[in-house]
Structure 1
Amino acid sequence: MKRTLYIVRHAKAEDRAAFMSDHDRDLVPEGIMASARMGRYLHEQGVQATVLISSTANRARDTAKVIAEQLAIDPQSIILDEKLFEGGPKAYLAAVNSLPADCESAMIFGHNPDVSYFAEYLTHQDVGSMSKGSVAAITFDNLNWSEVSGRTGFLAFYVTPKELLKQ
């Protein structure tokens, strides 16, 4: 069975102010619009995800909600994983390795540099620093989620919000 993982970096958020927790930063209007465009694009491409997992940080959670709405997925079904906030790429791998066996596609929402490192770890391809609001789709052939690890995936596509503005 072919499985697909969509790695999503949160969209543009508020700058961190001295009085504000990094965890509590919200999306700015530009980030909300970019998330909606990305979700619409993914929907038009026929992307489906049966499981959505997000960092508990406001900006990641809200990016997940906006994209879920565009994909006609109930935002209440998003699984929030606090380890994805500052947990490093190992936290992302643990989340993926624990996906249900019957899940064919999943989407995980998080933060840089972790998402970029994670995409490169899985594919051993140069993804670079993922842009805010971007999506990397990684496919795995004949692997269970529990078997996913370094160099087991193939980068199917990488798309940024700026690229969508050009279309």
Structure 2
Amino acid sequence: MKRHLYIVRHAKAEDGSSFFGDFSRELTTAGQIDAARMGKFLADNGLKPDLLVSSSAARAYQTAQIMAEQLGYEVEKIQTTRQLYDEGPKAYLAAVNTAPQSCQHLLLFGHNPDVTYFAEYLSNANIDSMSKGSVVTIEFDDLEWAEVSARTGTFVSYDTPKQLRPNL
């Protein structure tokens, strides 16, 4: 059975000089639009997610909420974890390795540079630096989530909001 992992970097957020601090930074209007575009793009390409797991930081969770709405996924079912905010790529691997075996399509929402490192670690692809609101898709053939580790995935695509914006 094939499993698909969608690694999502949160969309554009308020700048870091916000009064509330980094963890509480929220999406800008442009970020909200980009997250909706990416969610619609994935839905239009047939994605029916089984599980969404997000960093509990405001900007990542808001990205997950907006994309969930576009994908027809119940927002209340999004799982959040602080570890995807500040515990590095190992936290992303732990989230994948503990996903239910019934799950075929898993979306993880997080932060750079961890999301880029993690995507490269799993697929051996050279992504450089994921842009805000982008999605890397990685496929796993005949692996349980618990077996996923370095270079066990096949890079499928790297999609960015910029690719989806109308040419003005």
TM-score norm. by structure 1 comes to: 0.98
Q: CA deviation at 1:102?
A: 1.0
Residue ranges of structure 2 left out of the alignment (5+ in a row): none
Q: How far does the alpha carbon of each residue in 1:12-70 deviate from its partner, in whole angstroms, 9 at most, with x for none?
A: 00001263310000000000000001111100000121000000000000000000000
Q: How far does the alpha carbon of each residue in 1:83-119 deviate from its partner, in whole angstroms, 9 at most, with x for none?
A: 0001100000000000001111100000000000000
What does 1:10-159 correspond to in 2, within 5 Å? 10-17=10-17, 19-159=19-159
Q: CA deviation at 1:71?
A: 0.3
Q: Aligned partners of 1:18 and 1:51: how far apart in 2?
A: 31
**Aligned in 2, Cα 1:68/1:18: closer, same or farther, shift over 3 Å?**
closer
Q: Aligned partners of 1:99 and 1:73: how far apart in 2?
A: 17
Q: CA deviation at 1:166?
A: 4.9
**Aligned in 2, Cα 1:137/1:18: closer, same or farther, shift over 3 Å?**
closer
Aligned-pair Cα RMSD in Å = 1.0
- Aligned identity (percent) is 52
Residue ranges of structure 1 left out of the alignment (5+ in a row): none
Q: Aligned partners of 2:16 and 2:166: how far apart in 1?
A: 29
Q: Secondary structure at the match of 1:139?
A: strand
Runs of 4 or more, structure 1, over 4 Å off, are: none
1:3 aligns with 3
One-letter identity of the residue aligned with 1:6 = Y
Q: CA deviation at 1:78?
A: 0.3
Q: Secondary structure at the match of 1:128?
A: coil
**Aligned in 2, Cα 1:150/1:70: closer, same or farther, shift over 3 Å?**
same
One-letter identity of the residue aligned with 1:81 = T
